[in-house]
């Protein structure tokens, strides 16, 4: 897949491997929607990267949140070409079951 001019959603995109994925995609010329529960970090990263990046608060255990991220990416960038899920299974389990 060509990265340049593609549109990606990256879950868990505000830190760790997710943030690294966002930065690499952006560097390669992609537009990126950062989907994460970490509002402050996600907003700051999107602001730092500029117009080709955006943040959408997303809890991936919520189908409605996930759909809002797809809708937001489509509104901002016209489509979605790929999804990178950078959440650890343990994190999702903990979010659901404590």
- Choose among 86, 59, 92, 56: nearest CA to 71: 56
- Choose among 98, 37, 28, 24: nearest CA to 66: 37
pLDDT tens sequence across 19-78: 999 999 999 999 999 999 999 999 999 999 999 999 999 998 899 999 999 999 999 999
pTM here? 0.88
**How big is the CA angle at 76 (ends 46 and 91), to the nearest 5 degrees?**
50
pLDDT tens sequence across 83-93: 999 865 555 54
Q: For position 13, what pLDDT does the model report?
A: 95
CA distance 87 to 96: 13
Tell me the CATH number for domain 7-97: 3.40.50.720
């Amino acid at each position: 897949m060509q990265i340049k001019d593609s549109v990606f959603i990256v879950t868990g995109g505000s830190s760790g491997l997710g943030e690294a994925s966002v930065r690499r995609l952006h560097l390669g010329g992609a537009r990126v929607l950062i989907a994460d529960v970490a509002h402050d970090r996600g907003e700051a990263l999107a602001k730092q990267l500029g117009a080709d990046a955006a943040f959408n608060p997303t809890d991936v255990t919520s189908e409605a949140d996930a759909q809002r991220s797809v809708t937001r990416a489509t509104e901002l960038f016209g489509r979605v070409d790929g999804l990178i899920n950078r959440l650890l299974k343990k994190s999702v389990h903990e979010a659901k079951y404590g």
